[in-house]
Amino acid sequence: MSYIKDKFKVKADELSAEVKELIKNHGNTKIEDVTLAQVYQGMRGITGLVTETSLLDANEGIRFRGYSIPELREKLPKAPGGKEPLPEGLFYLMLIGELPTEADVQTISSVLGRRSHVPNHVFDAIDALPLTTHPMTMFTIAIMALQTESLFAKAYAEGINKKDYWSYVFEDSLNLIARLPRVAAYIYRRKYKGGQHIQPNGELDWASNFAHMLGYTDDAFNELMRLYMVIHADHEGGNVSAHTTHLVGSALSDPYLSFAAGMTGLAGPLHGLANQEVIKWILDMREELGGGMPTKDQIEAYVRKTLADGKVVPGYGHAVLRKTDPRFTAQMEFAKTHLPNDELVRIVWMVYDTVPGILTELGKAKNPWPNVDAHSGALLVHYGLVEYEFYTVLFGVSRALGVLASLCWDRALGLSIERPKSVTTEWMKLFVEGK
């Protein structure tokens, strides 16, 4: 791993010098104006963050260091016999900014395998929670319990030079990514499989070891996990989980604290919890209609009822995207190859044929198209992972790759504590009156 860390340091020094020059020569350049509405409405459209790992285009979707999802599926190294990219390769790409070789991916895989040990007190913390606790609550508590292992927190307490922060954040980030599948699988097996835990297999790649610890031995499920872990990993810096991790990290809270904070945001229904909400919504619809395949008219009526009840249609809409999410399309392609006749998948596709027209007709949602969450549940159910409350934990394990690679960059670039200015509505009223 040390050669990858050395390479990161070289890249970080180069970019730090470029950023210093940019600020020195163009520090007063105005990027855009901010409207009063933007300040009240979730800062939508305000460019206020720098995130190196990925960039979102409203129409085209996400690019990771310049590579789209179809390009990643083609270019990133695969497991022997596999067709989907290994998430370790995406982590390398986000960290270093270059496509990895097979050997780079192998190095990361084996480092993650070696660092995956989770101390017993973390399992004790999970075990202390009632079984009814939501898996995302268990997950964030377990990450907080893991914070005892932070090398950054320890080094900071001992007194380190700020030039070295990045090095400890780098180590913590790798250790945390290595440990998360074990923690997540422990939560799953405790809550849903009677506490019959499965030990990690150090021979496997990161995603298939996770699948193995969840209890899956199917090669197709390993492939799904690899794809799932790649497509959920990062979505530039402004989404709630990435932004929160970055914000909390800016106070020099260590990667465990920062990531746990990000995960509490991912657990919200307008963000990552939509992963579970979509399948719940489809299953509720099916139950209400008496089971089996609904007709297009029945789906349309159910969508209209959802909206009339003042609820959102989960899996549709986006704060930035204005077209079908390429992460939805990648999952649709996976389904077409592996499970084209699955009933739930076919319902997902019928919903896709129905919802955009209705949302467009009503004209309120700025984006009527599906996001990543609209498809994932149906794929997981097909392979037997039916416990939908767990889905956001899968999202969280994947999201660690992006937000922790970004946290390494934040500290390597020496980014400042985040502290935007806020005002009161009284201030706003006086401001618009010109006082």
Residues near ligand MLT (CB under 6 A): 235, 239, 271, 319-320, 371-372
Q: In what helix (H) or strand (E) does residue 263 lie, and over which residues does it extend?
A: helix 255-266
Write down how long the chain is: 435
Q: How far is the CB of 231 from ligand MLT (least distance, A)?
A: 9
Q: What b/e sequence results for 86-115 when a residue is b if at least 16 CB atoms lie within 10 Å of its CB, and e otherwise?
A: bbbbbbbbbbbbebbeeebbbbbbebbbee
Burial class (CB in 10 A: 0-12, 13-18, 19+), 22: exposed
Cβ proximity to ligand NMX, 240 vs 345, nearer residue = 240
Token output for 405 = 């690679």
CA angle 189, 194, 196 (to 5 degrees): 60
Binding mask 18-47 for ligand NMX (x = CB under 6 A): --------------------------x---
Catalytic sites, residue numbers? 271, 318, 373
Token output for 343 = 């009933």
Q: How far is the CB of 271 from ligand NMX (least distance, A)?
A: 4
Determine if 314 is a binding residue for ligand NMX (CB under 6 A).
yes
Segment near ligand NMX (CB under 6 A); pick from 2-10, 20-28, 284-292, 315-323: 315-323
Q: How far is the CB of 397 from ligand MLT (least distance, A)?
A: 14
User: Of 191, 373, 375, 376, which lies in the binding site for ligand NMX, with binding defined by CB under 6 A?
Assistant: 373
User: Of 115, 322, 346, 366, which lies in the binding site for ligand NMX, with binding defined by CB under 6 A?
Assistant: 366
Q: How far is the CB of 232 from ligand NMX (least distance, A)?
A: 8
Cβ proximity to ligand MLT, 77 vs 249, nearer residue = 249
Question: What does 110-174 look like in DSSP terms, one character per residue?
Answer: HHHHHT----HHHHHHHHTS-TTS-HHHHHHHHHHHHGGG-HHHHHHHH---GGGHHHHHHHHHH
User: Of 312, 322, 343, 387, which lies in the binding site for ligand NMX, with binding defined by CB under 6 A?
Assistant: 312
366 binds, among ligand NMX, ligand MLT, none (CB under 5 to 8 A by kind): ligand NMX
Segment near ligand NMX (CB under 6 A); pick from 96-104, 287-295, 362-370, 398-406: 362-370
What letter would DSSP give residue 68? E
Q: In what helix (H) or strand (E) does residue 300 lie, and over which residues does it extend?
A: helix 296-308
Determine if 369 is a binding residue for ligand NMX (CB under 6 A).
no
Q: How far is the CB of 398 from ligand NMX (least distance, A)?
A: 11
Compute the distance between CA of residue 139 and CA of residue 121 in angstroms, rounded to an integer: 14
Specify which residues 250 forms β-bridges with.
none
Q: Virtual CA dihedral for 367, 372, 376, 377, nearest 10 degrees?
A: -50
Determine if 244 is a binding residue for ligand NMX (CB under 6 A).
no
Q: How far is the CB of 371 from ligand MLT (least distance, A)?
A: 5
Site for ligand NMX in 269-288 (CB under 6 A): 270-272, 274
Q: In what helix (H) or strand (E) does residue 63 lie, and over which residues does it extend?
A: strand 61-64
Segment near ligand NMX (CB under 6 A); pick from 75-83, 139-147, 365-373, 421-429: 365-373
Q: In what helix (H) or strand (E) does residue 67 lie, and over which residues does it extend?
A: strand 67-68
Compute the distance between CA of residue 75 and CA of residue 185 in angstroms, rounded to an integer: 29
Cβ proximity to ligand NMX, 45 vs 113, nearer residue = 45
User: Of 140, 208, 331, 367, which lies in the binding site for ligand NMX, with binding defined by CB under 6 A?
Assistant: 367
